Amino acid sequence: RIAKVEGESLLCANQVFSESIAAIRTVEAFNLRERITKLYSRHLSSAYYHMYQTCKNRGYAYGISQSCHYAMYPVVFLLGSRLIETQGYSFQNMMTVFFAMIWSGAAIGDIFTMATDLGRGAQALEDIITRIDRKLK
């Protein structure tokens, strides 16, 4: 939905710009430069707002992914110390558990980072499948 709104806003801004260049003599003759500039800026501001929201949401997702990744270190070391203390694990076994937990935390973080692109990926995959399945003329 947001990509569609951005596309429409940018398309309208492009149309205003193209028409003002095509009719540059009329724009200058009637002194419409300020009006055209404001109209162009208004169309761009709508797209800018939606792009800003998208960037903000992706920033939050990236922050969550980094938090998951770095929050795993103290949890894993605490778990490792408990395993060594109570279960008699060796340091090598603890490090094996450590790396398994760290890589799983990194995978969880990557899932949060890529979650914003899942919709676009699904749409791209659907487009590819329809192009592969279409009948040739």
Per-residue pLDDT tens digits for 86-112: 988 888 888 887 888 788 877 877 777
Name the nearest CA neighbour of 47 among 20, 11, 87, 101. Answer: 11
- % residues pLDDT > 70 (the chain): 95
Q: Per residue in 44-78, pLDDT tens?
A: 888 888 888 888 988 898 888 788 778 878 888 88
Burial of 72 (0-12, 13-18, 19+ CB in 10 A): buried
Sign of CA dihedral 29, 35, 41, 43: negative
Structural domains in the chain (count): 1
CATH classification at residue 54:
1.20.1560.10
Cα–Cα distance measured from residue 51 to residue 65, given in angstroms and rounded to the nearest whole number: 21
Contact 84, 91 (CB under 8 A): yes
The residue segments making up the domain with residue 126 are: 2-133
Confidence of residue 137 (pLDDT cuts 50, 70, 90): low
